[in-house]
Chain A
Amino acid sequence: MTRKTRRLWLVIACVTCLGAAAALMLQAFSSDIVFFVTPSQVEAKPPPADRTVRLGGMVVAGSVKQEKQGETPVSRFDVTDGQAAVTVRFEGILPDLFREGQSVVAVGTMHKDGFVASEVLAKHDETYMPKEVAEALKKSGKWDPRFGPPPSAESWNTMTAQDAQKTKANPDSPAPAATKP
């Protein structure tokens, strides 16, 4: 074994040990690293009322109620992860991306009658599409943004805005992107 080989093995051993140590640490702290808890976690183990938690999930379609108390807008909506739903009350201006079917993170405390948020953050997903394509998908009935994420990307990611407008003008013909092999 030459000196170089020995040094290489030494470096590999050190990096492996360090990686294992980091992995174990992250594993141990994983419940603290998560940015938010889900409604089913909150339901199963309600946090104490004086503890601030971040609650994340999808805004349930049709659950958003907005009213005005004096000058401040007050909104109530349900947040779900598919298994449980928690009602959130928030006083203030919601972010632009807030809508039914959008994922949000509400920062606040859990009370007996629901979650009281001091801040609401909108979480957008990893899909990026032009407005026309989204309209065409909605028109064709393949997707309703109020009920969750769009259909699989292969079915729309090659569709251009022009294709989408053609589909909209003539809704019976299938989208050109879908006919491609």
Chain B
Amino acid sequence: MTASPSLVARTGSLFHRYANPGRFLRLAARLQPWLTGLALLFTFAGLGWGLFFAPADWQQGDSVRIMYVHVPTAILASSGYAALALCGLLSLVWRHPLADLAAVEIGPVGACITAVCLATGSLWGKPMWGTWWVWDARLTSVLVLFFLYLGHIALIRAFDDPQRGYRAAAILALAGAVDLPIIKFSVQWWNTLHQPDSITLTGAPTMSSSMLWPLGLSMLGISLGFAAIVIARLRAAVMESRVRSLLSNPRRRGDAA
């Protein structure tokens, strides 16, 4: 290594500070009640407001309320996969042990949320578009994302040596990240049945603020819920690996003696 630490080394040390499982467990234990509590609070507030108090849309009527579940899950499906790809990068380049465990735990949660997104989208499509499913670019690319999640879940558990599984799954996660810009821009690049985004960085949201507020709340709540579930699973995984090593170590020592 050179005298002045390179950017790569510095980035690595930043992540390695939290690679220490003991430090992660302490931090996560403190965060967990806040995450869970705020997630429940915001989700119930956002969904309650959206489902019962927000106005109905002028042309879609009450069907528009599916949006308060569909949009947050759609955003999380992509963000969850982005997190999976980040874990893959950390795992391949810096051999970050916690990133491997995180990838194992994010996969199933992300797959569930993608399934919810597809299901609510289908339920919304039938009354509005007149069809449960079409093979347009947005819908198809999200279905591909769902299969990428399933592939990742299967691959990371497919080997007897977990390290090999982590490696293969990290490569799949990074390669699959190509799908994320396709999902995001599919509605701009090609004509689709799915409408373009209402909330953009450049323009004013094409949505009444009386619908935007509950949507923002439920988005915040469901995202915090995603984080809370992943952190809880990750804590359990770290503790499990500690228990395993505790259980196997004395036996090994006993064998050697």
B127 within 8 A of A: yes
**Bound: A121/B128 CA distance, A:** 9
Q: Is A72 an interface residue (CB 8 A)?
A: no
- A171 an interface residue at 8 Å Cβ cutoff? no
Pairwise interchain contact A128-B190, C-beta atoms closer than 8 A: no
Question: How close is A108's CB to chain B, nearest CB, in angstroms?
Answer: 14
Q: A34-B190, A96-B128, A122-B128 are in contact. Are A2 and B205 (CB under 8 A)?
A: no
Determine if B220 is an interface residue (Cβ-Cβ < 8 Å).
Answer: no
A123 touches B129 (CB 8 A): yes
**A59-102 near B? 1/0 per residue, CB < 8 Å:** 00000000000000000000000000000000000011101000
Docked Cα-Cα span, A5 to B137, in Å, equals: 37
Interface majority SS on B: helix, strand, loop or mixed? loop
- Specify which chain A residues have a CB less than 8 angstroms from the CB of B130 in the assembled complex: 95-97, 119-122
A124 touches B8 (CB 8 A): no
Asked, given contacts A2-B6, A11-B92, whether A126 binds B206 with beta carbons under 8 Å apart, the answer is yes
Question: How many residues in B have their beta carbons less than 8 Å from beta carbons of A?
Answer: 50
| A121–B193 touching, CB < 8 Å | yes
The answer to whether B92 touches A7 (Cβ under 8 A) is yes
* Structural contact, A123 and B208, CB atoms closer than 8 A: no
Residue B192 CB within 8 A of the other chain: yes
Contact A153 B205 (CB under 8 A): yes
Bound form: Cα–Cα A7–B11 in Å: 14
Q: Check: B203 CB closer than 8 A to any chain A CB.
A: yes
B94 at the interface (CB under 8 A from A): yes
A42 at the interface (CB under 8 A from B): no
How far, in angstroms, from A22 to B175 measured CA to CA in the complex? 10
Are A152 and B204 within 8 A (Cβ)? yes
Whether, in the assembled complex, A127 has its beta carbon less than 8 Å from a beta carbon of chain B, the answer is yes
Residue among A8, A119, A122 making CB contact with B93, cutoff 8 Å: A8
Instruction: List B28-79 residues whose CB lies under 8 Å from chain A.
Output: 55-60, 64, 67
Instruction: Report the contact-size class of chain A (Cβ under 8 Å from the partner).
Output: 35 or more
Q: Enumerate chain A residues within 8 angstroms of B1, measured Cβ to Cβ.
A: 2
Contacts of A122 in B (CB 8 A): 128-130
A52 CA to B131 CA, complexed, in Å: 17
> Which of B9, B12, B175, B198 meets A127, CB within 8 Å?
B198
Expressed in whole angstroms, the Cα–Cα distance for A36 and B135 within the complex equals 11
Task: Name the A residues within 8 Å of B190 (CB-CB).
Answer: 30, 33-35
**Cβ-closest chain A residue relative to B88:** A11
Considering only residues 167-223 of chain B, those with a C-beta below 8 Å from chain A are: 174-175, 177-178, 182, 189-193, 195-198, 203-212
Chain A residues with CB under 8 Å of B198's CB are: 126-128
For residue A57, give the distance in angstroms from its CB to the closest CB of chain B: 10
Contacts of B89 in A (CB 8 A): 11
What chain A residues lie within 8 Å of B203 (beta carbons)? 153
* Contacting residue for B191 out of A35, A95, A126, CB 8 A: A35
- B240 within 8 A of partner (CB): no
In the complex, whether A118 has a CB less than 8 A from a CB of chain B is: no
Contact A130 B208 (CB under 8 A): yes
Given A11-B89, A154-B204, A157-B212, answer yes or no on A123-B58 (Cβ-Cβ < 8 Å). no
A129 to chain B, nearest CB (A): 5
CB B6 to nearest CB in A, in angstroms, measures 6
Contact B127 A96 (CB under 8 A): yes
A56 contact from B92, B191, B207, Cβ within 8 A = B191
Tell me if A123 and B195 are in contact (CB < 8 A). yes
Name the B residues within 8 Å of A38 (CB-CB).
191
Contacts of A119 in B (CB 8 A): 130-131
The reply to whether the CB of A131 lies closer than 8 angstroms to some CB of chain B is: yes
Chain B residues at the A interface, C-beta cutoff of 8 Å: 1, 6, 8-9, 12, 55-60, 64, 67, 89, 92-94, 127-131, 134-137, 174-175, 177-178, 182, 189-193, 195-198, 203-212
Please list 25 pairs of residues, one from A and one from B, whose beta carbons are closer than 8 Å in the complex, sorted by A's number.
A4-B93, A7-B93, A19-B178, A22-B178, A33-B137, A38-B191, A96-B130, A105-B193, A119-B130, A121-B129, A121-B134, A122-B129, A125-B206, A126-B196, A128-B64, A130-B58, A130-B208, A131-B55, A132-B55, A153-B203, A157-B207, A157-B212, A158-B209, A160-B208, A161-B210
